[in-house]
Amino acid sequence: MGEEGLERSRWRGVAVGAAVGDALGMPLEFGLASHPRALIRTMLPGRLPAGHFTDDTELALAVATTLVERGYLDPDDLAQRFAAWYSSEPPDVGIHTQAVLSRLITGEPWDTAAEAVWRERPESAGNGALMRSWPVALAYWRDANALREASITQCRITHRHPECVAACVFLNAMLGSFIRGADLEQALETAFALASPLPEGLAYAIRLAPRRRREELRNTGWVRHTLETAIWSLFNSHSFAEALIQAVNLGADADTAGAVTGALAGALYGVEAIPEEWRLNLRGEYPLKSGRNWGWQDFVALADRLATLYMQP
């Protein structure tokens, strides 16, 4: 496979990997960490049918739709799509995201809504923006500065905490680096450079993550914990499947850890490395109540569209 084919495999791996990771983690969400000798390795039913993706992927698809239809990260358009999704009564919404979107559906502008919620909850640094950020990396993987700015904008529509913003830039910088052919260490250092200056606590957690012991990882909805889990999983595995299995079996916010780890591992190893059984079982609906059902090949087509957005005349 030539370099162009490898890049294509990697960007497809981001989209399919994120959705597969979300679905694999879904039944393990809110649970305890699995015993190391009894790890879950198949897609199981949970609050949704087996193989079904969650709000993590639904909101990422909202980001992707804005990018495709508007041709850039248009925050006004994206905020409207988030509001429309919230109005469709999704079965699960993150606490911080819900606080912002409940304001948007009343007509409040997204920038004042996000700012108001942050002032009410200044310590709130959830992973709700991180989980949906991968389409930005696919659209801007060729342009580091544009990737940084779009990552910031995407995050700040709902999440204003500095750790949330920095984490979105960091994740997308790693994804872009992987697509361009970087190895794990190179991608990590590129992300540190592009996301600089990172909040001290977040930077420390990422640096320490590869050497963490499994029992030290909490894998909560704190954006720091999600990124920590994903980095730990990549450094302590040698395949897409192994990385993802390690991440989701930590329980707690397993679907989001799965989505973030899946995007990274998909970019690192390529779409062909994602087990066929997981790919074929992937399913979900977006927009909600539209009857538009998504399978893994739909994510491949979406990834191709996003990743070549700025190659088109």
pLDDT at 3: 87
Q: Is the pLDDT of residue 264 over 70?
A: yes
Q: Is the pLDDT of residue 312 over 90?
A: no
Question: pLDDT tens digits, residue range 198-241?
Answer: 999 999 999 999 999 999 999 999 999 999 999 999 999 999 99
Give how far Cα 306 sits from Cα of 53, 75, 77, 87, 177, Å. Answer: 20, 17, 17, 26, 16
Give the whole-angstrom CA distance, residue 112 versus residue 114: 6
How many CA within 13 A on the CB side of residue 146? 15
Provide the residue count of the chain. Answer: 313
161 touches 118 (CB < 8 A)? yes
Mean pLDDT of 27-55: 96
Question: pLDDT tens digits, residue range 119-161?
Answer: 999 999 999 999 999 999 999 999 999 999 999 999 999 999 9
What is the average pLDDT score of the chain? Answer: 97
Smallest CA-to-CA distance from 240 within 167, 177, 184 is with 184
Q: Is the pLDDT of residue 162 over 90?
A: yes
Mean pLDDT of 112-118: 97
Mean pLDDT of 31-38: 95
pLDDT at 310: 79
Domains of the chain and any CATH numbers: 3-307 (1.10.4080.10)
Mean pLDDT of 16-29: 98
pLDDT at 103: 97
pLDDT at 313: 40
pTM for the full model?
0.97
Q: Is the pLDDT of residue 1 over 80?
A: no
Mean pLDDT of 259-281: 98
Smallest CA-to-CA distance from 265 within 166, 130, 134, 127 is with 134
